[in-house]
A and B are shown apart, each in its own frame.
Chain A
Amino acid sequence: MSWLEPHILSNLVTLGLLAGLVFAARVVRAQRLWREAAVELWRRRRFAILVVGVYLLIGLADSVSWTGGVPDDAVGVLPNAPLSVLDRAFLDSREASYSAPFAAVEFYGGDALRHPGGHPLGTDILGRDVFYLSLKGARVALLIGGLTSLIAIPLALLFGVCAGYFGGRFDDFVFFLISTMASMPSLLLLIALIMVMGRSTFSVCIALAVTGWVGFCRLTRAETLKLRELDYIQAARALGVSEAKIIFRHILPNLAHLIVITFVLMFSGLVLSEAVLSWLGIGVDGSWGQMIDGARDELSRQPVVWWNIAAAGSALFGLILAVNSVGDAVRDVLDPRTARES
């Protein structure tokens, strides 16, 4: 048994992300500008931030996993599979088939359930607890939004800043590349990329990143073009500060607010795109989009099986609404052009 198994890798990545969050929090605390923005954000959108926090915690609970400790009589669990905190909380929740929320008997047939009244959102066609599946979707959604942004934003920064700062041939090339990518219909390009790369979580994220980086790259390029003409950067150059140092000390910090705004505003679009991809059959396993897709025929049953789609739909809606509402506030607070307007 090698020690770099997928679940250990996932634990390490989770740890790394937590460390990144702590680091970001320290930076925000240390600098007055960011601290004031954070306080203002908290004042405006307390509730939405808390909701996002709850989703984060659920995603976290599903990201830390280890093997062993499974009782022998648990139904539907492989003895050596790694299980997350969330999996362990719902370890023995499997039923035989559909059951309605809080029902004591199966939906079809009326056999007694193993846990009468124990499924607040019912169970799906395979008897899995819908509440549990909806909670598990949080990790997938955060993964899609987070991983894609982690690929797209650095890529866009690299190309945008270099093109804007150095200009010349490289700028022409980047500008041409951006125009070309932007003229391809994004949903079609997305689908084409996934068709070509095969269907996996990673290729969905890559495809979303490839279609998503263009807009931000254009933005950073334009912003860098403006920044490099400013007096203090001219002064730094005249003093002989190296190009790399100018970019890291003077340009990137001035793009930081754009990075935060783009990340938050991009996030909800990515999660919604994944739902569409799931419906087209090329989404990520375990996402809310797949739950919605799987529940499509259930609404035409008699009597209607509604809890599956309702649970996945509300979970998706809750996250997107909270992120959108935080995103609006982030833009208002951080963007000097819209600040103090509404």
Chain B
Amino acid sequence: MGAYVLRRLGYGVGVVLGVLFLLFLLFFTITAPEDIARKALGDKAPPEAIQTWLENHEYDRPLWPWQDWDENLLFDHYRKMLTFDFGVSDADDSPIIDRIKAGMGPSLSLTVPLLVLGLFVSIPLSLLVAFFRETYIDRMGVFLCVLAMSVSTLLYIIGAQFLIGKVLRWYPISGFDASLAMLPRFLALPVLVGLISGVGGDVRFYRTVFLEESSRDFVRTARAKGAGEARIMIFHVLRNAMIPILTRVVLAIPFLFMGALLLEAFFGIPGLGSMTVDAIQSNDFSTMRTMVYIGSLLFVFGQVATDISYGLVDPRVSVE
């Protein structure tokens, strides 16, 4: 067991180091630091200004260790990222770590309700569809799912803002207020849109899981012993399907911190998602780099944690 945990941890560390190397290739070699400086200062900036900018952002050194072992961008990049010293934004020189700390709260206040409500909507729906398998209700359900999946998220957002925000005036079109009294009003619309745009794919996924479970032997046995279909669905199929469902949920948890890019940007929620959108629009390479790194870190963490907990629960896993 100890060896298994160590192996998974080693794998996680390796992947994170690999991600950092890919990021280095992308953000330092494909775009040279001079290009970043020119984008930040404008095309007509004098060479001296670019030089000072490079010095201020600690870009003024060779790329690779064989050019200069003590001072090179590759080692700097690894050292800074691994110690969470993200430096300042390439666009407006504000410290990135402060903005991440400030953005996490609003992001979580959107994504956590979205995840929880999503589970409460899509699992009963998919159970219902799976209950009526191979009937017209099932076909209809799957068709509606495909229909819902075929609409671009952009259209859901714009449509909901127009219909509910502008025409019906139920909720504000966009904005954010962290006070408990106002928060639900501002979050209602983004959460609703997030639910609708995700429900099609989720229901289809869970339906497949339930159908797989309901063709197992224990279901046949339960039916042979005279258990009702509804009882089988809830007490046998749902309980056994909890494993794949939990895996999916656990793997989704790290990404809650990253926020929802489109929803946050459209609804004016000052989370990490809208921070990323700002970074795109202002050519803020260092923020973008940091966001990809944090996303990968969270993903690897989630994956290794799931693997290890599997190993703890199921002894067969760690032997393999």
Interface check A289, CB cutoff 8 A: yes
Residue numbers in A under 8 Å from B19 (CB-CB): 180, 183-184
Q: Are A196 and B27 in contact (CB under 8 A)?
A: yes
Q: Are A188 and B295 in contact (CB under 8 A)?
A: yes
Residues of B with Cβ closer than 8 Å to A? 11, 14-16, 18-19, 22-23, 26-27, 30-31, 134, 146-147, 149-155, 158, 161-162, 166, 255, 258, 261-262, 276-277, 280-281, 283, 285, 288-289, 291-292, 295-296, 299-300, 303
Q: Are B296 and A300 in contact (CB under 8 A)?
A: no
Residue numbers in B under 8 Å from A321 (CB-CB): 146-147, 150
Q: Are B152 and A185 in contact (CB under 8 A)?
A: no
**Which segment of A232-240, A255-263, A309-317 sits at the interface?**
A309-317
Residue numbers in A under 8 Å from B292 (CB-CB): 184-185, 188-189, 192
Q: Are B283 and A195 in contact (CB under 8 A)?
A: yes
Q: How far is the CB of B297 from chain A (nearest CB, A)?
A: 9
Interface check A325, CB cutoff 8 A: yes
Dominant secondary structure at the A interface? helix
Q: Are B26 and A185 in contact (CB under 8 A)?
A: no
Residue numbers in A under 8 Å from B16 (CB-CB): 183
Q: How far is the CB of B189 from chain A (nearest CB, A)?
A: 15
Residue numbers in B under 8 Å from A181 (CB-CB): 22
- State the CA gap A251–B295 with chains docked (Å): 36
Most buried by A among B27, B150, B153, B285: B150
| Residues 270-293 of chain A, each 1 if its beta carbon lies under 8 Å from chain B, else 0 | 001001100111100000010011
Residue of chain A at shortest CB distance from B288: A192
Residue of chain A at shortest CB distance from B293: A184
Q: Are B303 and A183 in contact (CB under 8 A)?
A: yes
Q: How many residues of A contact B (CB 8 A)?
A: 41
A176-B15, A185-B258, A196-B26 known; 19 new pairs, CB 8 Å cut-off, are A176-B18, A183-B303, A184-B19, A184-B295, A185-B255, A188-B258, A192-B27, A192-B292, A196-B30, A279-B262, A292-B154, A296-B158, A299-B158, A299-B161, A313-B155, A317-B150, A320-B150, A324-B146, A328-B146
- Residues of chain A from 316 to 336 with CB closer than 8 A to chain B in the complex: 316-317, 320-321, 324-325, 328
Residue numbers in A under 8 Å from B23 (CB-CB): 192
Residue of chain A at shortest CB distance from B208: A338
Q: How far is the CB of A235 from chain B (nearest CB, A)?
A: 29
Q: How far is the CB of B180 from chain A (nearest CB, A)?
A: 30
Known: A196-B31, A197-B30, A279-B154. A324 touches B149 (CB 8 A): yes
Known: A184-B292, A184-B296, A324-B146. A179 touches B15 (CB 8 A): yes
Known: A176-B14, A185-B292. A292 touches B283 (CB 8 A): no
Q: How far is the CB of A64 from chain B (nearest CB, A)?
A: 29
Contact among B22, B161, B281, B299 with A185 in the assembled complex (CB-CB below 8 Å): B299
Q: Are B152 and A292 in contact (CB under 8 A)?
A: yes
Residue of chain B at shortest CB distance from A295: B158
Q: How far is the CB of B169 from chain A (nearest CB, A)?
A: 13
Q: Are A292 and B150 in contact (CB under 8 A)?
A: no
Residue numbers in B under 8 Å from A188 (CB-CB): 258, 276, 288, 291-292, 295
Residue of chain A at shortest CB distance from B143: A325
Known: A192-B289, A292-B152. A300 touches B280 (CB 8 A): no
Residue of chain B at shortest CB distance from A321: B150
- State the CA gap A321–B146 with chains docked (Å): 7
Q: How far is the CB of A332 from chain B (nearest CB, A)?
A: 11
Q: Are B15 and A280 in contact (CB under 8 A)?
A: no
Residue numbers in B under 8 Å from A320 (CB-CB): 150-152
Known: A176-B18, A180-B18, A296-B158. A191 touches B288 (CB 8 A): yes
Residue of chain A at shortest CB distance from B262: A276
Interface check A12, CB cutoff 8 A: no
Q: How far is the CB of A205 from chain B (nearest CB, A)?
A: 17
